Chain A
C-alpha cells in the first residue's frame, strides 16, 4: 500500500463525521480532530514508517496533503540512509 493510501486509511479511523478525505482536508477544521487524536495519529504513522516527526513539523501538516508530503519525504530520506 502506498504512503498516501496508508495515511488516508489511518485518517479514516479518526474520521467520525465520515466526510470525504482529500488532500485539501483540514484535520482540525473538517474532521474535528483534537490535538490528542492528531498527535496519536502522527505517533502511529511514526511507528509504521520508522520515522520521527518533530514537534514543530506537527504544526505544518494539518492538511492531509501536507501530511502525506511530509511523510513521503521522511520515508524517502530514511530509505536513502538505510
Chain B
C-alpha cells in the first residue's frame, strides 16, 4: 500500500530526491522519516499532524513519518498567509505542526492566531535515530490518511479526507496508465511542476516512491530553463504538473534550447485545460515526447480520467478515458448518461472518491449527492469514449494551477476597511491564463485600487490577490441580495 512504500526502500542507495545540494537517496529518506516517526507518540485516535514545509526531501520525510505513525497528514501550502494558515489549523484537531526554522516565524504566527494550540516541531532538531526503527502502525486503509484543504464555495476552506485506499487506488491506476514498459522509457526520472502539498503533487510523489523513481520537485519559482537544465543534468524523463509549462514551451518553441533535453519522454498536465491547439503544436515540435492531459480533483484523490497507455494524435484535446473501476457519467437535465456527445456535469463514482469533508456533513452531502461525486465541470464523451472538458459549472477560478473560489476572495475583501462591497470574477488576458479580478465599491473617495491591492497582499496568498481591481459605484444584486456574478462573468 502507500504507508509502507518508503520503508520498503530503507536499504536502497538510489536517488530519491533531486535538485537539492546533494541528491537524497531512498535509504537516507527512509531513515530520516523513521527518525521523525520515532518522536510522534503512538495514539489510539489518529491525531493530525500538519506539514508546513517547502517542496523537497524534508516534506517527503514528514509526510511518510506521519502516515507511518498512523497519524493523519495535513499538508499546508507555504504560499498561504499566517491568517489563512491559522484558519486551517483551527479547523481540524491538529496536534503537531512540522516545519523548519526558515518557516518558523510564519508557523508561530499562524499557531498563535489559531483556535487550537498545536506543538511546533522543527526538522532541524530531530534526535538521531537508534535501532530498532519504529514499526509502521497498523491502520484501517479506509480511515482518513490525508486531510487536504480545498477552498469552498462558501468562502471557507473545506478539508477533504482521503483514505489510504483512496490514494492507493489512484497511484496504482496512474502507474498502470503510464505505460513505462510499453514505451521502453530508459530511466524514469520525474520533474514535478506542482506543489507537493497538492493532491496532484502527492499522487506523483507516492507513485515515485512506490516505483523507486527519483523525483525533482520544481514548482517553486518554476522556469523552463530550470526544467531543461534539469533534463540535461539529471536525465529527467517525465514531467507532471500544471499547464503553465505547456504554454511556456509553446510560446518559446522557436527558441533554440541550449541544453540536451533528449531524455525527456513525457509531459503530463492537469489542473486546468491546455489552450486549444497547444499540444498538437508541441507534439510536432517535440516528436519524441508524449504530451498528455489528465483530469481530476482533490475530492477524487485526484484522478478521474487519464490517457490509458496511449493517446491517438486526434485525441490530444481530450483528458483520456475514465480510470478502470471508476464510473463516469454526464449529468444532464434528462438524467445521467454516458452516451457520446451529450454535454453535462461530470459525475464520478469509485474507490477514488473521498470519504467526505472533515466536520462538514452538509457540504459532503451536497457534493456527493445520490452517491455520485459532482465535479462541477462540464464535459462530454466522444464516439470513442474519450472525455473532453468543456467548461465549469462551479464558480471556481484556476490561477497558475491553484484553485481560487471568488467567494473566498470576496469574504476577505469585505473585511477590508477600504471596501464597502465587492464582486470577484476571473478574466483571461491571454489564452491559458486566468486571473482574479474584482469590482469594488470603495468605502471613501480616497481609496485607490493600489491601496486595496496592498491590503490583499497581506491577507491573501499571492495567487488569490486580484490582479485587476475596478472601482465601481454599485454592484447589481438579485432579489435576495446576492451578487449577479453569472451575468457579470458573461459580460466579461
A residues at B contact (CB < 8 Å): 16-18, 28, 32, 34-36, 38-40, 43, 52-56, 58-59
Contacts and interface: CB of A to CB of B under 8 A. Distances in A.
30 contacts: A17-B450, A17-B453, A17-B454, A17-B457, A34-B244, A34-B400, A35-B223, A35-B224, A35-B248, A36-B244, A36-B247, A36-B248, A38-B223, A39-B224, A39-B248, A39-B252, A40-B251, A40-B430, A43-B252, A52-B255, A53-B255, A54-B258, A55-B228, A55-B252, A55-B255, A55-B257, A55-B258, A56-B258, A58-B223, A59-B223
Nearest to B469: A16
Given A36-B400, A59-B223, A16 B251 contact: no
B132 interface: no
A35 B454 contact: no
A51 B462 CA distance: 32
Contacts of B312: none
A22 to B, nearest CB: 17
Nearest to B454: A17
A62 to B, nearest CB: 10
B256 A54 contact: yes
B481 interface: no
Question: Which bucket holds chain B's interface residue count?
Answer: 20 to 34
Interface in B431-474: 433, 450, 453-454, 457, 462, 465, 467-468
Contact of A28 (B221, B228, B247, B259): B221
A56 B258 CA distance: 7
Given A36-B400, A52-B255, A55-B252, 13 more contacts: A17-B450, A28-B221, A32-B462, A34-B244, A35-B248, A36-B244, A36-B247, A36-B248, A40-B430, A54-B255, A55-B225, A56-B225, A59-B225
A40 B454 CA distance: 24
Contacts of B256: 54-55
B183 interface: no
B390 interface: no
Kindly name the residue among B247, B251, B255 whose own CB sees the greatest number of chain A CB atoms within 10 A: B255
B222 interface: yes
A36 B258 contact: no
A53 B258 CA distance: 12
A49 B223 CA distance: 23
Nearest to B453: A17
Nearest to B466: A16
Contacts of B259: 56
Contacts of B251: 39-40, 43
B271 to A, nearest CB: 13
Contacts of A40: 251, 430
Contacts of A56: 225, 258-259
Q: What are the nearest 7 A-B pairs in CB distance?
A: A18-B450, A59-B225, A56-B258, A35-B223, A16-B467, A55-B225, A55-B255
Nearest to A28: B221
